[in-house]
Structure 1
Amino acid sequence: MAVSGLGAVLIIHVLTTLQATLATALAEREKAVAIPMVGGAMEAGDVIDAGDLVSADMLATFVHPECILDRRLIEGRTLLERIYPGECIRMERLAPVDSQGGLEALVPTGMRAITLNLPTDARGRASSSRVRPST
């Protein structure tokens, strides 16, 4: 009888401990996190400055693990793709720290980009069928 009573006390203790641990974990999960986001739509090649950023509070549960939470890592960086207001900013969407600003940031290191002024036909379309890449 004493053994079963001791077993019951042990089970109650373990369940109480697990319940307290679960309650603590759920409370941590529901904390709000301030996430820096752009205030308006920004295009690829735009440089983000402090005035472009706003903060939004979100529950930590809903924050993507790759979202940048530190504004200092975003300010002064060039975008590699369009970002809309309310979107999380991830490192993969930003040009490297030492890259040039503007559209130069979109061209990979060691590559060059050129533009061609192509003649247009009567409808205003470029006659790209005459352009052939050379090797």
Structure 2
Amino acid sequence: MSKQSPSADADPALKTPETRKPGRPPHERSDALAKRIAMWVAVGVRVADVAEIEGLSEPTLRKHYWVELQQGHTKANAMVAQSLFRAATHATHPDTRAGMFWLRCRAGWVEATTPPMEPRPGKKAIAQAAGLIAEGGTSWEGLLQ
């Protein structure tokens, strides 16, 4: 068996400057990078910052890792919801605050609010109110009408 020399078509680094296309070599997707990108998006890092951290342009990031960009925060929300649900429904030590939070967010519960109390009237308001009702049932009734 004879050993073949590597061809320039198989490895872009072996191409001569005359045969190589100008610009950066095309990006190849990797699973390790996809997991890191999903982690960055899950914790709330902006797309522009993820691209800068990983050394990619935004168009390249969006082209090759759009699934991770779309689903990263959704998966993180699902994990937090699962943890919250487990805490709220624990068999021996349920967390009532976690349960209340879950019900407010997911079941549409709202806390009961007391109606705002009306301020107590002052002396002037009491005198005006008394003047309005004083006409009925008094000797002044005929004069005020």
Q: Tell me if TM exceeds 0.5.
A: no
More helix by share: 2
Structure number having the greater strand percentage: 1
Superposition TM-score, scaled by structure 1 size: 0.22
TM-score with structure 2 setting the length: 0.21
